[in-house]
Amino acid sequence: MIEIAATGPLNTIQDLGRPGYRNVGVTGCGAMDPLALTIGNILVGNAPEAAGIEVQTFPFRLRFSERSAFAVTGADCRAKLDGVDLPPWWAAEAEAGQVLELFPPLKDARTYFSLAGGVDVAPVMGSRSTSLRGGFGGLDGRVLAAGDRLETGAATPLFLPKDGYGVVPPSIALKDVFSSADGGALVIRALPAGEHDLFGADAERFWTQPWKISARSDRTGYRLSGDPIHPIETVEMRSHGVVPGVVQVPPAGEPIVQMSDANTAGGYPKIAGVIEADLWRLGQARIGSLLRFVPATHGEAKAVEKALAAYVEDVRRTARLVAGALAAFA
Amino acid sequence: MAKRDRATGGEAIGDFSDPVLISTLTGWLEASGARELEITTADGRALKIVLAAGRPVAKLSEAAPEQPAGGPEAHAVKAPLAGIFQDRHPAAAGPLAEEGLSLTAGALAGFVEVGPVLLPVRAREAGVVIEVRARAGDLVGYGDTILLTEAAR
């Protein structure tokens, strides 16, 4: 069991989401950076579907009620265990009574806390993710608060290197695949979507200008600010299904990117769709930062997805081999 | 210690079907305490050796004794496993340990990189770094001395 000692608002229990119910209006939810949560789960020996805590407001502090392996991945929040620094993307073992503290990251937006066995709350429709708008999932469908006690699931026996261990962060290990900033703007690959051509010459400006992530952005979607773009004619559209990554353009002309808590349906014209393999990077983008969309092909999207899967698999296999070798030395 | 370029290191492995090579690697594997070894070269060739289940794996309690050059008080900070030594976290700007720097007991002095996995190199005893032996990017073996410290006087 762990106890939340201090937390900012909007920190929730998340897993990889609740797919399959969008047709009945149930948002997918899930971690904004599913890659970070996936790596955290691997490092502590969890199944991929184990739930962790998504921390997006800091400082965050928790106390371990019992000895437990845990991992801190995602945004580097200068984590400390009983005052001792932990490197970013790191797993270690905490003793009963020890306190883990997460501080505001200097870059990136969200940190993930995973613990051996996962955070054990009752799954709702196959997922432990908190749906804030629906008010279900996670801990009573709400954000975490100081004093909350969270049960831990059954941990798989794991040899955790006694000095802890970690991974090369994906932004570094995969720097050739996820090219970093272009003049300070995060480069996000997207495919032109259904109503792309309806924007005529303005479509070009969608791709070329940097967009700023406005303060009216959250887990549901990012509202972008920049030079507005408009369709060449006003069209009345029926509501249609929407998924995370869809970029809609409301009448005011400033795009909205749907994120993990995406609406299930919408009626604004869609200009583009962010490729799924780039969504974790968008999930780490901060309010006030700039991003630029670059057109991608399905082939490129597939290649990025493969590179991402290869990194995850490499971490999974190497972590097991390293643990095996160290167990033999121990 | 020779610096090895990881991008071309695979070329030096030679012919994977060579029984002498496989037998040598199997010997190293048995002695290492690990059960599995996998090598992939840049041109896509791969070799995987897995020790049979139940076959005893070496239990190493201590690496081969090495004479630290820093005098009797010197304490050797050693590599926890074979891999590439890194003097800093890949996301960090500066090295963790330099000559003259004080390390507390348990302090992080660097990392050993095994593929995407990072293992910490930690000082067991508090002391001042008197010599840094491994350079970032060096291939180090299990128990190799990374640096030497001496108790502060």
**pLDDT band at B50; cut points 50, 70, 90:** confident
Examine the pLDDT at B54 and tell me if it is beyond 80: no
Question: Which helix (H) or strand (E) element contains residue A42?
Answer: helix A34-43
Q: What are the helix and strand counts (H, E) for chain A?
A: 5, 21
Residue B58, classed as helix, strand or coil, is: coil
B114 touches B86 (CB < 8 A): no
Check pLDDT > 90 for residue B21: no
State yes or no: pLDDT of B6 exceeds 50.
no
Crossing angle of helices A34-43 and A298-329, rounded to 10°: 20
* B74-78 and A246-248 strand pairing: unpaired
Same domain, A189 and A70: no
Tell me how many helices (H) and strands (E) chain B has: 1, 10
Do B84 and B141 belong to one domain? yes
Does A316 map to a domain?
no
Supply the pLDDT for residue A235: 82
- Residue B64 confidence (pLDDT): 46
Instruction: Examine the domain organization and report whether A6 and A81 are in the same domain.
Output: yes
pLDDT at position B1: 40
Residue B123 lies in a domain: yes
Q: Per residue of chain A (330 residues), what is the pLDDT tens digit?
A: 999 999 999 999 999 999 999 999 999 999 999 999 999 999 999 999 999 999 999 999 999 999 999 999 999 999 999 999 999 999 999 999 999 999 999 999 999 999 999 999 999 999 999 999 999 999 999 999 999 999 999 988 877 888 899 999 999 999 999 876 667 899 999 999 999 999 999 999 999 999 999 999 999 999 999 999 999 998 888 999 999 999 999 999 999 999 999 999 999 999 999 999 999 999 999 999 999 999 999 999 999 999 999 999 999 999 999 988 888 877
**A289 and A213 in contact (C-beta within 8 Å)?**
yes
**Residue B101 pLDDT greater than 80, yes or no:** yes
Residue with the larger pLDDT of the pair A149 and B57: A149
Same domain, B47 and B88: no
Residue A177 located in a structural domain: no
Residue with the two structure tokens 């990374």: B146
Between CA B144 and CA A41 the distance in angstroms is 31
Alpha helices in B5-153 (DSSP H): 19-32
Same domain, A45 and A147: yes
CB distance A213 to A288 below 8 Å: yes
- Write down the pLDDT at residue A263: 92
Q: Which of B150, B72, B141 is nearest to B112 (CA)?
A: B141
Residues B53 and B79 in one domain: no
Judge whether A179 lies within some domain: no
Tell me the whole-structure pTM to 2 decimals.
Answer: 0.87
Q: Distance from A303 to chain B by nearest Cα, in Å?
A: 17
In terms of DSSP H, where are the helices of B7-146?
19-32
Cα pseudo-dihedral A176, A178, A184, A190, rounded to 10: 130
Task: Say whether pLDDT at B3 is over 60.
Answer: no
Indicate if the pLDDT at residue B59 is higher than 50. no
- With cut-offs at 50, 70 and 90, classify the pLDDT of residue B62: very low
CATH number, domain with residue B115 = 2.40.50.100
Q: Which residue has the tokens 């996998």?
A: B38
Is B43 within a domain?
A: yes
Say if residue B48's pLDDT is above 60: yes
Tell me whether residue A209 is in a domain: yes
Instruction: Judge if B57 and B21 occupy the same domain.
Output: yes
Query: SS3 for A281?
Result: helix
Does the CB of A159 have a partner CB in chain B at under 8 Å? Answer: no
Mean of pLDDT values over B54-77: 60
Domain closes at, from A137, A167, A197: A167
The average pLDDT across B51-65 equals: 53
Residues B82 and B105 in one domain: yes
B67 assigned to some structural domain:
no
Query: Does residue A262 share a domain with residue A137?
Result: no
- Alpha-carbon Rg for chain B in angstroms: 17
Contacts of B122 in chain A (CB under 8 A): 163
* Per-residue pLDDT at B86 exceeds 90: yes
- Where in the sequence is the domain holding A278, given as residue range(s)? 185-296
Residues of B near A (CB-CB distance < 8 A)?
32-36, 57-61, 80-81, 89-91, 106, 108, 113-120, 122, 142
Indicate if B84 and B34 belong to the same structural domain: no
Query: Looking at this protein, which amino acid is placed at residue B39?
Result: I
- Residues of chain B found within 8 Å of residue A85, distances taken between Cβ atoms: 108
Average pLDDT, rounded, for chain B:
78
Question: How far is Cα of residue A31 from the mean position of the Cα atoms in its chain?
Answer: 4
Q: Would residue A235 count as lying in a domain?
A: yes
Please state the domain count of chain B: 2
Cβ contacts of A311 on chain B, cutoff 8 Å: 116
A320 falls within a domain:
no
Examine the domain organization and report whether B89 and B132 are in the same domain: yes
Q: Is residue A7 part of a domain?
A: yes
First-last CA distance in chain B: 31
pLDDT, residue B115, reads 96
What single DSSP character describes residue A95? -
- Domain containing B127 equals 74-150
Give me the residue from A163, A311, A315 closest to B80, CB to CB: A163
Residue A39 near residue A89, CB atoms below 8 Å: yes
Q: Is residue B129 part of a domain?
A: yes
pLDDT at residue number A236: 82
Q: Which of A80, A165, A176, A320 would best serve as a mutation to test chain B binding (most B beta carbons within 10 A)?
A: A165
Last residue of some domain: B61, B82, B104?
B61
> Which one of B61, B89, B119 has the shortest CB-CB distance to A161?
B119
* Residue B128 falls inside a structural domain: yes
Mutate to test the interface with B, among A93, A106, A168 (most CBs of B within 10 A): A168
Contact A221, A256 (CB under 8 A): yes
Looking at the structure of chain A, the number of domains it has is 2
What is residue B49's three-state secondary structure? Answer: strand
Do the domain assignments include residue A315?
no
Q: Please compute the mean of the pLDDT values over residues B30-43 and round it to a whole number.
A: 68
